[in-house]
């Protein structure tokens, strides 16, 4: 009869196999997180900041009545802000508030209300210190009390000023 010898031949011990499985799992998980993690960001949207000045150019006639004229100068901007995300909010002495996207204000004039027209000199589609907005009123009964730029992405106020 032939003698059979059984030999126990372990290639890798169970402890080493467990460590290898954990290392492979951690490597795959970290790779997957670095690839897909950017799509699921919960970072808050920050509101950019700007400085504006509103100059009152209104001239009162001899009869004591005049039509309002204002120039909004954009003095500085904290970062590149697309005009498609900015709305101009004009507050009148009557309490009426008009908002309009800055991108829709052109050099030929855009009506904010039936009596107020805004023109913008813009060289690009971004808010820039080179831009200014002129606002003219056709009614002696209304005048601007405050102008603000609102960021639609964060719903925050970019800049606000009162006519001087």
pLDDT > 90? residue 3: no
Q: How many domains does the chain have?
A: 1
Is 85 inside any structural domain?
yes
Q: What is the CATH number of the domain that holds 104?
A: 2.60.40
User: What is the rounded distance in angstroms from the CA atom of residue 151 to the CA atom of residue 157?
Assistant: 6
Containing domain of residue 129, as a range?
A: 50-161
Is 33 inside any structural domain?
no
Categorize the per-residue pLDDT at 44 as very low, low, confident or very high, splitting at 50, 70 and 90.
Answer: confident
What does pTM read for this prediction?
A: 0.67
Per residue in 73-132, pLDDT tens? 889 999 888 888 999 898 888 888 888 888 777 666 676 665 667 777 765 678 888 778
Q: What is the pLDDT of residue 62?
A: 74
pLDDT > 70? residue 153: yes
Dihedral over alpha carbons 113, 115, 121, 124 (to 10 degrees): 10
Is 37 inside any structural domain?
no
């Amino acid at each position: 009869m032939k003698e059979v010898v059984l030999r126990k031949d372990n290639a890798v011990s169970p402890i080493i196999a467990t460590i290898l499985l954990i290392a492979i799992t951690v490597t795959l998980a970290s790779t997957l997180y670095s690839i897909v993690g950017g799509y699921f960001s919960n970072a808050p949207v920050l509101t950019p900041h700007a400085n504006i000045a509103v100059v009152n150019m209104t001239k009162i006639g001899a009869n004591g009545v005049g039509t309002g004229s204002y120039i909004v100068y954009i003095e500085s901007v904290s970062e590149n802000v697309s005009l498609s995300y900015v709305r101009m909010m004009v507050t009148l002495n009557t309490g009426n508030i008009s908002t309009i996207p800055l991108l829709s204000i052109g050099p030929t004039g855009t009506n904010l209300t039936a009596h107020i027209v805004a023109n913008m000199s813009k060289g690009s589609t971004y808010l820039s210190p080179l831009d200014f907005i002129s606002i003219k009123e056709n009614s002696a009964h209304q005048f601007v009390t405050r102008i603000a730029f609102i960021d639609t992405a964060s719903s925050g106020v970019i800049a606000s000023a009162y006519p001087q």
